[in-house]
Amino acid sequence: MTAISFPEARRQIVAVGRWLDGKGWAPATSGNYSVRLDDGSFAVTVSGRHKGRLGEEDVMRVSADGASLDGKKPSAETALHLAIYRLFPEAGAVLHSHSPDSVGLSRAVAGDGFTFTGHEMLKALPGNPTHDASVVLPIVDNSQDMAVIDGAITPALLAAGAPPAYLIRSHGLYGWGRDMAEAERVIEAIEFMVATERAERSFRA
């Protein structure tokens, strides 16, 4: 885990918002990002802001129970970020993207997970040193109640071999890492594998 200062977290979150928007993975005002801070609080994106046009004033601080520490309004999904930090004390950053491919996969696939097998990009996931593996990306149904999503996804996240990521059906992808760089790598690797799976199916059609 890497815990950093609030000014550095703001810079990282502004930069990652521009990166994800440039990829087409943060349409409209979708997505939310967070970083664990060195004082025990968390930096998160303010609710309703376009992630490709974030300024440092669009990043706020919340306590470990989600209370605003500076009077600004966090995203309702902040609760899902904090749940990840509680489950995984080594997590230092959490990202939530909304790519068309990942959302489309979550809508097209029935059941509670999608299996990636033999992808070279599996080696980008923490703790997975080989492409010669199968990794199941958990999928959970969407809800306006974050506690419902948290309760439904937690068992899958704690299962042996689970990746540091999951999909919310018809909504988007959550991924995390020990720091922002690792969280970015997880998101990019999974988005790449999802896009590859889609391309493979189109070639076979």
Give a yes or no: residue 129 inside a domain. Answer: yes
Give a yes or no: residue 1 inside a domain. Answer: no
Cα 38 to chain centroid distance, Å, stands at 21
Tell which residue, 173, 20, 186, 176, has the closest CA to residue 107.
173
Over residues 83-92, the pLDDT tens digits come to: 999 999 999 9
Give a yes or no: residue 136 inside a domain. Answer: yes
Q: Six-digit token pair at 203?
A: 């070639």
Tell me how far CA of residue 121 lies from CA of 127, 135, 180, in angstroms.
Answer: 13, 11, 18
Give a yes or no: residue 133 inside a domain. Answer: yes
pTM of the model: 0.95
Domain extent at residue 40: 6-204
Which residues participate in the annotated binding site?
96, 98
- Please give the sequence-ordered ranges of beta strands (E in DSSP) within 141-203, or none if there are none: 165-168, 172-177
Which residues participate in the annotated binding site for Zn(2+)?
96, 98
CB burial of residue 132 (10 Å; 0-12, 13-18, 19+) = exposed
pLDDT tens, N- to C-terminus, the chain (205 residues): 778 999 999 999 999 999 999 999 999 989 999 999 999 999 999 999 999 999 999 999 999 999 999 999 998 899 999 999 999 999 999 999 999 999 999 999 999 999 999 999 999 999 888 888 899 999 999 999 999 999 999 999 999 889 999 999 999 999 999 999 999 999 999 999 999 998 887 777 6
Q: Six-digit token pair at 11?
A: 């810079």
Residue 28 CA to residue 205 CA, distance in Å, equals 32
> What is the CATH classification number for the domain harbouring 157?
3.40.225.10
Number of domains in the chain: 1
Segment (H or E) for 11: helix 6-23
